[in-house]
Amino acid sequence: MTRNQITVALAILLLVPASSAWTATGDVINSFATPGSCPTGLTFDGKYLWMADRKTDSLYKIDSNTGRIKTARPAPGYQVEGLAVEGSYLWVLDIEEGAIFKLNPDTDIVEKTIYPPCDHPKGLAWDGKYLWVADYREDKLYQISTEDGTTIVEIPSPSGNPYGLAYDGDYLWVSDRIDNMIYMVNPDDGDVIIAFDSPSEFPRGLTYDGKFLWNVDYQSDSLYKIIIRDNDKFIRTDGKKQELEYTHQFRNYGPGEITSLDIYIAVPHDLPFQKLLDSIVFTPEPTEFVYDRWDQQIARFHFENLTAGASVSTAMRVKAELFKTRFFIFPDNAGALSEIPEDIKTSYLVDDSKYWIDDPFIREAAQKVVGDETNCYWIARRLFNYLIDQMHYELAGGWNVAPTVLKRGSGSCSEYSFVYIALCRAAGLPARYAGSVVIRGDDASTDDVFHRWVEVFLPNYGWIPVDPSGGDHEKPAAQARAFGYLNNRFLITTIGGGASEYLEWGYNSNEFWQSKGPCKIYSEHIGEWSPVKTAADSTVSE
């Protein structure tokens, strides 16, 4: 991809502002006050919403256009926590009785009773053949038979407190009351595909009306109508304005002479994840700016004749706004391998010295995991799941080649990235890496470790961040935060597909030197963060 192509693509992406008037996945487009003050279960019968209220022990039939109550019926128990519709019947989960009732809402007669296979059930959903119920202490989701309540399938819940369930025909939706999140879940294995913030602080019942998701919230006593599919492919939130001073220092302890030294510092630019607030300041002025074979801009600093004891320091000062950036990737819209542009394939399917994509171990692993799958999302996700199952994080020094790292089963963020890129490219999916300086905890902090992750190319979405080492967690929700999401604590300096003629396999910065006689070299790279001061911060109260 040329610099002009990158500029055009970036301009299109950045048309989506941080706080857009357009709607996006997770946005509320309508809301109503609930009939009672203790709302729990929620379902949709094809025309009306049904909501349970624990305090009044009632089931309310609600017009979804106006929020008005059409009728109120007595609940078949005293602690209803889930509702689902099957034809003309309501399934009602009552946790005091530990039972699920099949209720005729016209006659108020319970025509069947089954018992869930768990001790702490919450939520209820109907998938057209079976019921789904969550257990908020075991952190599991159960697909159960309506004949006798036996388990058909058991998958992990996204996080620790699932309370509401819905089914949209393909995926489960799960609300979590501690995370205050709503998750779209693959019912086959529990993988979280999409996540967004719940409308309020205690999301409970969920239901799907054929186009929109509805959520009832226990704290705000409100019903929310939520968009789950929209044209916006990502959102940016929680902009954080930070200043970074990145320093690359070099010292010659001698006794010989450094006859020539070149220091290269990668130059960051605007991305969906970050926006530069001012011109970048370099100290001293670079000798020149160059571009490597991946079109990464780099500042070059040249020095000569560094005698014993001499040192140089180069620095880059950047002011930028960093965003939490979340992509909403629907697998059916992610395209097939055949839809990837040829210029992307040409650049990002090639082998390199850290990847070894033709190594039999890499080829066999990719084929075993991917099989005949051609959907780009599922290829990327299967390989992501495989890698976090096979490896654990270990910062042991050195960057070994992909097959060595995969066989060993442990690695640093860079080694995870090399393996994931190798597997993706072996499967025909273009992949590259991003390198960054990281805010480590406090906004005023220091980073000398840095971080690298992967980007994969998905048709209709473009380059998507995937952090295989960051996704190495047990909970599906935590794993999902490493796929299509980036926090606001990274300034990306480097985008690369492989070895660079200036940065080599590094990122942020690199150095080359020539020496005469024995020389002991000391080199240090450090990023110092501080919040950007505003006029209000400088005001002194009188």
Q: What DSSP string describes 479-502?
A: HHTTBSEE-TTEEEEEEESS-BTT
Instruction: Output DSSP code: residue 105.
Output: T
Determine if the peptide bond prior to 35 is cis (ω within 30°).
no
At 376 the pLDDT is: 98
Q: What CA–CA distances, in Å, run from 403 to 314, 406, 412?
A: 36, 5, 14
CB 246 within 8 A of CB 527: yes
* CATH architecture, range 21-232: 7 Propeller (2.130)
Q: What CA–CA distances, in Å, run from 67 to 34, 88, 223, 363?
A: 8, 21, 8, 56
The β-bridge relationship of strands 410-411 and 392-393 is: parallel
Residue identified by tokens 């050195």 is 398
Q: What CA–CA distances, in Å, run from 262 to 286, 296, 394, 432, 515?
A: 10, 17, 31, 26, 12
Q: What is the distance between the alpha carbons of residues 274 and 522, in angstroms, rounded to a whole number?
A: 32
Residue identified by tokens 């998750």 is 183
End-to-end CA distance of the chain: 56
Cα–Cα nearest to 393, from 404, 379, 409, 378: 409
For the chain, the structural domain boundaries read 21-232, 236-324+503-533, 329-496
Q: What is the distance between the alpha carbons of residues 14 and 12, in angstroms, rounded to a whole number?
A: 6
Q: Determine the Cα angle at 158 with ends 387 and 366, to 5°.
A: 20
At 457 the pLDDT is: 98
Cα–Cα nearest to 369, from 347, 357, 393, 386: 386
Give one word for 108, left, alpha or beta, with left for phi > 0 and alpha for psi -120 to 50: left
At 474 the pLDDT is: 87
DSSP state letters, 318-361: EEEEEEEEEE---GGGS-BGGGS-HHHHHHHS---TTT-TTSHH
What fold, for 329-496? Answer: C8orf32 fold (3.10.620)
Q: What CA–CA distances, in Å, run from 42 to 90, 98, 204, 241?
A: 11, 18, 8, 41
33's tokens: 């006050």
Using only C-alpha atoms, the chain has a radius of gyration, in whole angstroms, of 27
CB 415 within 8 A of CB 405: yes
Q: What is the distance between the alpha carbons of residues 534 and 542, in angstroms, rounded to a whole number?
A: 18
Predicted TM-score (pTM) of this structure: 0.92
CB neighbours of residue 448 within 10 Å? 12
At 232 the pLDDT is: 86
At 34 the pLDDT is: 97
CB 493 within 8 A of CB 266: yes
Query: For the chain, percent helix, then strand, then coil, each to nearest 5?
Result: 15, 45, 40
The letter for the amino acid at 201 is: E
Cα–Cα nearest to 208, from 118, 307, 124: 124
Element (DSSP H or E) covering residue 9: helix 3-13
Q: What is the distance between the alpha carbons of residues 39 and 51, in angstroms, rounded to a whole number?
A: 7
C-alpha 213: how far from its chain's center?
A: 21
From first to last of its 542 residues, what are the pLDDT tens digits of the chain? 444 443 334 333 333 333 345 679 999 999 999 999 999 999 999 999 999 999 999 999 999 999 999 999 999 999 999 999 999 999 999 999 999 999 999 999 999 999 999 999 999 999 999 999 999 999 999 999 999 999 999 999 999 999 999 999 999 999 999 999 999 999 999 999 999 999 999 999 999 999 999 999 999 999 999 999 988 899 999 999 999 999 999 999 999 999 999 999 999 999 999 999 999 999 999 999 999 999 999 999 999 999 999 999 999 999 999 999 999 999 999 999 999 999 999 999 999 999 999 999 999 999 999 999 999 999 999 999 999 999 998 877 679 999 999 999 999 999 999 999 999 999 999 999 999 999 998 999 999 999 999 999 999 999 999 999 998 888 999 999 999 999 999 999 999 999 999 999 999 999 999 999 999 999 999 999 999 987 655 443 33
Residue identified by tokens 């349970």 is 52
At 397 the pLDDT is: 66
236-324+503-533 to CATH, choices 1.10.10.60, 2.60.40.2250, 1.20.1080.10, 2.40.50.1020: 2.60.40.2250
